[in-house]
Amino acid sequence: MQHLDHGAVLSEIATLCKSGTRKLVRNALTKAPYDKAATNWDVTRQIEHRFSCVLPDKLTATNQHRSGRCWIFAGLNTLRIYLMRKYDLEDFEFSQSYLFYFDKLEKANYFLEKIIETASEDNDSRIVSHLVSSPMQDGGQWDMFASLVLKYGLVPKSVYPDSEASLSSPDMNYALTLRLRAAAAEIRRQLREKARPDVIQTLKRGILSEIQKILFVHMGEPPQAFDWTYYDKKQKQHTHKNLDPLRFYRDFLKIDISRFVCLVHSPRQKTPYNEMYTIDYLGNVIEGQKIRYLNVPIEQLKSVATLSLLKHDPVWFGCDVKKQFHRELGVMEMDLFPYNMLYDGDFSISKEERMLYGESQMTHAMVFTGVHLNQDKPARWRVENSWGDKVGDKGFFIMGDSWFDEYMFEVVVNQEYIPSKFKKLLTKPVRHLPPWDPLGALA
């Protein structure tokens, strides 16, 4: 094992001090944030919010605030376009808090069931350590979103608006996490003492009752029946009385989201293309849709996303939003921050290597609402985010097509937009990946 040579370190610092270029960069970065001092002007000056295909452009940007509900926002922002189209609405929002409430409850049940299932594992086994590391967080996946909608339905945001806890969830999550970890300890202790299954299930029901109390005091009661009044684009009033959430989803939206499928791009050798994958110990609704991915080359993600948009249907997607991204400008573009030039080093690493070495995975879900084609090929993508209207173009972002190649991981489209040769693959047996696999990351 070789140590750093103190003299060599000092000599290197002295050499850097003699470089005018290095000192100029130092002066900039010691006095200004990175995205202010080092943004590539050659990239930003080419920003153009113009697209050859755009879905309704009068949408108001939504805002998840200090919560990790992006996957729910992206799912509901996708579905609202269908409802707006059907009822001729200028704008509309589903209640994100409604699904958030039931996601918390379902995740608690899922966690407790997995704790029971892994009772024979040691406390410090990798799977138990994984389960208790984050028993209650905000993130999710498309299939988890679909499971909630299919079980609990939907309601307008006016019927169940945000609470303080849904706008800023850390305090509520702390209470939920603390109770679930205590529950895990108690359940595992009783199972070691050979408690009967019915005793464990009685214990679990009591714990879930306490979870409901935490959710109730932080978020209030979700509606079981409601009236919906709206005005169409001609300002004509319409009122529907005594609706329930499942009827609102089934009869008013009339979109079968169980027919939407997830295509992912994982170029690793351990995840060959044209195979179906699932992630062990990942989910929320026990009896709901299981996580299912079809892994395909990146061009297939582009192809199905483009076709869906050309048919005027939005596309839910998951990406690594933290890379080569300017939040204020709302731009995702390669070379936006030229690390090699800025630091005079080699930062090149392939997408496969980024996944293998913990540098990249899906971190955020958003919605494609447009694409600009150049000779029938995507050149840039219009992105609807859920961070309010103060960033990007009133909350809408631009994604360069080369950025798509490197940091896109998942798109969700209706099966009708998938080529027949890939539809046949959807029925293949799934390959299981461990919960810590990069494809198991939550948006």
Grouping H, G, I as helix, E, B as strand and the rest as coil, residue 160 is coil
The whole-angstrom separation of Cα 67 and Cα 387 is 10
The whole-angstrom separation of Cα 166 and Cα 163 is 5
> Catalytic: 374?
no
Strands (E), 273-421: 275-279, 293-295, 315-319, 325-326, 331-332, 364-374, 377-384, 396-400, 408-414
- DSSP H helices in 134-234: 142-152, 164-167, 170-192, 197-219
> Catalytic: 364?
yes
- List % helix, strand, coil for the chain (3-state, nearest 5): 45, 20, 40
**Which of 70, 218, 284, 372 is the catalytic position?**
70
CB atoms within 10 A of CB 221: 10
CA 105-147-126 angle, 5° bins = 65
DSSP string, 266-301: ---TTS-SSEEEEETT--S-TTSPPP-EEE--HHHH
196 burial level (CB within 10 Å; 0-12, 13-18, 19+): exposed
- Taking alpha carbons only, the member of 327, 406, 397, 430 closest to residue 74 is 397
**Which of 218, 265, 326, 364 is the catalytic position?**
364
Identify the residue whose tokens are 């002295």: 14
> Catalytic: 65?
no
**Which of 173, 295, 385, 414 is the catalytic position?**
385
The answer to whether 410 and 89 have CB atoms below 8 angstroms apart is no
39's CB contacts (< 8 A; 6+ apart) are 326, 329, 336, 337
Sign of CA dihedral 412, 416, 419, 422: positive
Grouping H, G, I as helix, E, B as strand and the rest as coil, residue 102 is helix
- List residues with catalytic annotation: 70, 364, 385
